[in-house]
Amino acid sequence: METKTHCDWDSKTEEEKLAFVDEVIKDYNYNENNLIQILHMAQAAYGYLPVELQKHIAKKMKLPLAKVSGVVSFYALFSTEKKGEYVVKVCLGTACYVRGGKKIIARMKEILGIDVGETSEDGKYSLEITRCIGACGLAPAMAINDEVFMQVKVDKLLDILEDLE
C-alpha cells in the first residue's frame, strides 16, 4: 500500500478520498486492532478527522462511533479540526519554557492574529503548543510543519514566516 501525504490529496475529490479510506480498511481486514493505523491513513488523506469521516470508518468497521471518536480524542496526533497550510508548533517543554518559549507564543499570537489551537481565517496558519521537539540543548525551539527551528529569537519570527513563502 502506498502512503500518501496530505499534499498529494489536495486535488482529490471526496469520493476518491473515501475510496482510499475504504481500501485501507479492507487492507487492514476490518480489524479493530488496526484502528489507529487506519485513522492515521485517513488523516493523511483528509488532513484531519471530521466527525462525518469518523462515522464512515465506524460504519465500515462495524464499530460504535464512540470507539472511533474515543481513539481520535485520546491521541494528540489526531485532529478533528482542519489545520492551516503551515502548522506552527512552539515548544514549551522545560528548557524552551525557561529560555523564552512563552515570549515566542505571545509574539506568534500577535503576528498571526490567532490564539493557540486556532487556524487563521485564510487557512494559512495554525498555532499549537508542544511539550518537546527534542532540541532542548538549543532551546527555545519551534517547528513549522516538518522543519525545526532552534535558538529562536522573538525578533526573527517575522523573517522565519516570510521565508516560508
Q: Would the pLDDT of 3 be above 70?
A: no
Residue 1 in domain: no
Which whole number is the average pLDDT over 70-76? 91
Same domain, 58 and 108: no
Same domain, 67 and 120: no
Final residue in a domain of this structure, among 54, 74, 94: 74
The number of distinct structural domains making up the chain is 2
Residue 138 in domain: yes
92: CATH:
3.40.30.10
Final residue in a domain of this structure, among 74, 95, 121: 74
Same domain, 128 and 62: no
Looking at residue 8, its pLDDT comes to 66
Domain range for 119: 86-163
Looking at residue 77, its pLDDT comes to 81
Contact in structure between 68 and 59 (CB atoms under 8 Å):
no
DSSP annotation of 44 reads H
Same domain, 41 and 93: no
Interior/surface letters 57-71, b for 16+ CB within 10 angstroms, e for the rest: bbebbebeeeebbeb
Looking at residue 66, its pLDDT comes to 97
